Amino acid sequence: MPKRLQYHFEPQRGWMNDPNGLCFFKGRYHAFFQHYPYAPKWGQMHWGHAVSRDLLHWEELPIALYPDQPYEDDGGCFSGSAVVKDDRLYLFYTSVSHSLGQTQSLAVSGDGIHFEKYDGNPLIPKPPAEGSRDFRDPKVSFFDGCYHMVCGTGKDGVGKVVHYCSDDLLRWEYQGVLAEGVEYGAVIECPDFFKFGDHYVLMFSQMDRPTHSSMFLTGAFDGERFTVGQAQTPEAGPQFYAPQSFEAPDGRRIVIGWLYDWKKELDQGADYAGALTLPREFSIAEDGTIRLSPVREAAPLLTERDELVTLSEREVLIAGASFPVTLPKPLTEVKILKDTKTVEVFLNGGEASYTLWFGK
C-alpha cells in the first residue's frame, strides 16, 4: 500500500474527483468531493465529506449525499457548491437521472453533517435553450445584493456558462449566457463566478487539456453579461482540475482543486484514488496578474529547492516532466511543497504554479 499524503486530503478508500461545497461552517473548513466509495474508479457519484481546522490536516466524515432519489438514479450526485445562510448549510448539486438527465438540486443541513434533500427538487429541472444535456456543476455566490448561480454547459461546439439569480436560494430566475467561446471547448465544467474587491472573476475548467485547463477571466459585469478583460491560466497542472473557491472567515479567497487526472493509473497497491490540492490564496496584483499562492498555514512546509525540481529561465523540470515557464515578470521567487507522492511548485508568489503526482 502506498504512503498516505501528509498535508493533503485523500479518501480512505474508493475514488474521488472534483472538490465540492467548499466553505467554513461551525468552526471548521468543509470540503465535499465527488466520490465513488466502492472502488478506486469513477462510478455513480456520491458526495464525500472532510473537515479541517487548519487547511492542512483533514478528517474524513460520513458520506454527505447518497444517490437515493429518482432524480439521481443515473449518474448520481454530480458536482456543486455550498452556501451558509441563517446558520444552515445549503448544498447545491447536479442530480443526474435517466428520465430528466442533468438537473440542479438542493440539500440542507443544520449541523453540517446530516443533510435533507429539498422536497421541491430538482430546483432547475431542465437546461436553458442556449444549453444542452451537459448542464452541470452549480456554483452559488452572493454579491451585489443577490445570489448568483452559474452552471457549465455547451451547445454546437461552443462552451458556455449560464447564469441564474435568486433572493431566497429556492426560486431561481434565468438571466442568460454569462460567457461563452469555442476556444474554451465544447462544454465548460465547474464554473465559479465571484466578486473580488472591484474585480469580477469567472473561473472554470476546460475539458481534455493536459495542462493549463483552469481558466481565470477578469472583466466587467453589468448585472447580466460578463465582458472579458483578461484571460489567464496561472496553474499548469498537469494534476490540477476543477478548482473551486470560497471566502474564509478572515476574508481570504481560497481555491482548492482536484489533485489527480482521469488518465492516471493507480499507485501500486492502492484501493483509493485522488486527492485535494494544497489550498491556494487567490489575489490580483495591481497590473491585473492573478496569483495562486500557498495558504499561509503552509508556510513552515515550503522549501526553495527540491531534488525533483529543476528550474531555468524557460522551463521547469518536475520529476522528469518538462513544462514551459510562463511568467509576466522575471523569476524572483520559488516555493515548493513536496508531500509523500505529490509536489507543487509556485513561482513569483503564484503567478505560475505546477502540480504533479509523482507516486507510482
Which residues does the annotation mark as catalytic? 18
What is the identity of the amino acid at 119?
D
Look up residue 103 and give its three cell numbers. 438537473
Alpha-carbon distance 80 to 66, whole Å? 14
Alpha-carbon distance 296 to 289, whole Å? 20
Alpha-carbon distance 255 to 252, whole Å? 10
Nearest to 355 by CA among 309, 305, 311: 309
Whose cell is 446530516? That residue is 114
Asked if 270 and 251 count as a contact pair (C-beta separation under 8 A), the reply is no
Asked if 158 and 132 count as a contact pair (C-beta separation under 8 A), the reply is no
Alpha-carbon distance 85 to 358, whole Å? 40
Asked if 319 and 356 count as a contact pair (C-beta separation under 8 A), the reply is yes
Alpha-carbon distance 124 to 92, whole Å? 11
Nearest-10 Cα torsion for 147, 60, 215, 175:
-20
Nearest to 245 by CA among 220, 276, 280: 280
Alpha-carbon distance 9 to 57, whole Å? 7
Look up residue 55 and give its three cell numbers. 487547511
Alpha-carbon distance 206 to 109, whole Å? 32
- Paired with 60 in beta bridges are 50
